[in-house]
Amino acid sequence: MQKLIEVRNLNIAYGGAAGWTNVVQGVSFEIARGEAFGLVGESGCGKSTVAYRMLGYGTINSFVQTGEVLFDGTDLLKLDATSLTRLRGNRIALVPQNPTTSLSPGMRVGSQVREMIATHKALPDGMTMGQRIVELFALVGLPDVSHRYPHELSGGQQQRVTIAMAVACNPDLLVLDEPTTGLDATTQRQIIQLLSDLRTRIGMAMLYVTHDLALLAQIADRVGVMYAGQLVEVASGDTLLSAPAHPYSRGLIASIPTMDGAKRQARGLRGVLRRDQMSTGCKFEPRCDFATTACRTTPQVLEPIAGARSVACIRWQEVAAPQPLTLVARTDGEVSAKPERLLSVADLTLSYRKPSLVDKLLGRTNPSVVRDIDLELCAGEVVALVGESGSGKSTIARAISGRLPPRAGLISLEGGLLPPTVKDRSVEQLRQIQYIFQNPDASLNPRRRIRSILTRPLNHFGLEAGENTLEAVLENVGLHAGYLDRFPEQLSGGERQRIAIARALLVNPKLLICDEILSALDVSVQARIVELLRSLKEKHAVAMLFISHDLAVVQQLADRVAVLYRGELMQMSDTASLLSAPLHPYTEILLEAAPGLKKDGYVSRLPAMPASKAAPGVGCPLAGRCPRQVGSLCADVRPPLHATGGGFIRCHIPADELASRTVSPEHKRSAGTDGIRVLNS
């Protein structure tokens, strides 16, 4: 294969107050023409730094100590600014992580694509600019959206626009920096599908940077695993996932939650990447299960081993030795006598804006964000609330916690009615419901030490605190007393989330509301927090409302799952039967989108841009997107509830018919035409 770009012994350091920190050390790899190379690693391992150097770009305080980045024979690190400008966008293009911030909000997306083509004079012969732009949008599966502003497009559509910009000049190399991280599972899969589609059509090479190995498995030919600024393993995607040779790769793969409904025996990673605790030898030694004394002192270098792969570990043979990957069936919680009901939510309807006086006089109502939610939680039970972003998961949690007074509906705890706002709730009621937020960086006051963060709730609720109450609770969440005198910024993301959990547990709540508490964390950290939550559930019999968009995590933890779409409960079911027989079309879509650890040739059944949006409150919210739509009925009439084994579904199609799992082509077609015509008329 012909080399397109080659990185040789790249060393990059970042300058700071305390001198230079080596961020990338001795990284070498190459990408052939048309090949998709993936770089994977935990946050802070230097993968993005490497990716940006492929565009000859570095931040002001970074400094390339040694190394070469050879692109078609020229060293990008030695090029001057003008020649780099000519190269960037034209032959090497970038798809950034967050399309919302990388598209200019004040410019129509058409002109942003036009800019790209005009800068590099890359208009193909015999084509007008307008035609080319429409062609590019068609290439990424969008209709002509050139007159729209970025905020008029959804996240997935915005990312399609940035991809259209990137491929506008038919680049040789596409650098993708976590292009799907901020997106929903279903949208993620669509983007991945689009990218592999584009690759076969345009034949460009890709450097795909991500922390998500499962997604990488779907797209990359070869994968490089980075740890602490070094490449520790390079192998083809399939080989890496089936038989990782480096202990770090192995741990990373073991940490990924999968949908196979079984618990893996292999252990995930312990500890976190700490750049200030590096041994002189192998960087991974402090966290490695295979480490010997030799590892601590001998630096490891990437060495080729059999099968076109290379690994930086002296003991790779033992690591790679096929371990019995015993899939132990999950021992589900014993079905004991029905425990008493803890929380019940009835007919909950929520909206964010209060109806103003004018609205009241005119009899207008604001569209509600969440409609008719009925939910029940028993003591010690974990119920997951699953749905895409914007489906109202967090809104429901806000209402239960009392931060958003419901427009209609009742919330009761242990039989007693809960007042709608925090202000009216008694101290005791407040204590019993504890809320854990998504982002631990934001939910811990950065100016307070852990000790005062933890003692404040105790004092507030007037709880007895013994000498080692704090130590005990820290131990409970896997930390030790040494953390008490630190500030949140001195902790890693996972540790901070543990502190947040500890703070909630400290006051002996009956119900924990976990609002996407894993999504801001690395996979290896996620796996350990899930482990922690599961042990807490067993030990303390605390009930949890677990909000997540990640079905794989949910199946490891939850007893029952509630599937939410656009503010309505589509299905309620116990976890096991949800996974084995999803029944509801939307649940099916979600399950299909969850990536496994193998290439699964996923083909999205959803259009990139729904032709119409279902009107809220009328008909089924899924109408227009549903693969099994029944004519115009779905868009017009609110679907009835059908009771199933462990819950209910909300659909026009009866449960037993759904269970037969066949999507007839007529249904598909009618989804595209009938439903839309009705809505448009």
Least distance from another protein to the Cβ atom of residue 299, Å: 10
Site residues, another protein (CB under 8 A):
13, 16-22, 275-276, 278-280, 401-403, 422, 425, 427, 430, 433-435, 437, 439, 442-448, 456-457, 460-461, 486, 490, 503
Residue (of 183, 203, 657) closest to 389 by Cα position: 183
> Letter for the amino acid at 602?
Y
Least distance from another protein to the Cβ atom of residue 559, Å: 25
147-157 burial string, b = 16+ CB within 10 Å, else e?
eeebeebbbbb
Backbone angles phi, psi at 241, to 5 degrees: -75, -35
The rounded distance, in Å, linking the Cα atoms of 140 and 157 is: 9
Is 253:241 a contact under the CB 8 Å cutoff?
A: yes
Least distance from another protein to the Cβ atom of residue 445, Å: 4
CB nearer to another protein: pick between 20 and 602: 20
CA dist 207 → 14, 146, 472 (Å): 22, 28, 46
Is 367:617 a contact under the CB 8 Å cutoff?
A: yes
Token pair 């919302």 is found at 100
CB nearer to another protein: pick between 548 and 587: 548
CA dist 422 → 281, 426, 428 (Å): 54, 8, 12
Q: How many CB atoms lie within 10 A of CB 171?
A: 23
CB nearer to another protein: pick between 41 and 171: 41
Token pair 């630096």 is found at 299
What does the H/E/C string look like for 293-353?
Answer: HHHHHCCCCCEEECCCEEECCCCHHHHHCCCCCCEEECCCCCCCCCCCEEEEEEEEEECCC
Backbone angles phi, psi at 11, to 5 degrees: -125, 120
CB nearer to another protein: pick between 31 and 453: 453
CB nearer to another protein: pick between 21 and 239: 21
CB nearer to another protein: pick between 434 and 587: 434
464-486 burial string, b = 16+ CB within 10 Å, else e?
eeeeeebbebbebbbbeeebbee
The rounded distance, in Å, linking the Cα atoms of 284 and 359 is: 62
Least distance from another protein to the Cβ atom of residue 318, Å: 26
Residue (of 154, 77, 189) closest to 596 by Cα position: 189
Least distance from another protein to the Cβ atom of residue 427, Å: 6
CB nearer to another protein: pick between 105 and 446: 446
CB nearer to another protein: pick between 303 and 485: 485
> Letter for the amino acid at 396?
I
How many degrees, rounded to 5, is the angle at CA 673 between CA 672 and CA 677?
Answer: 130
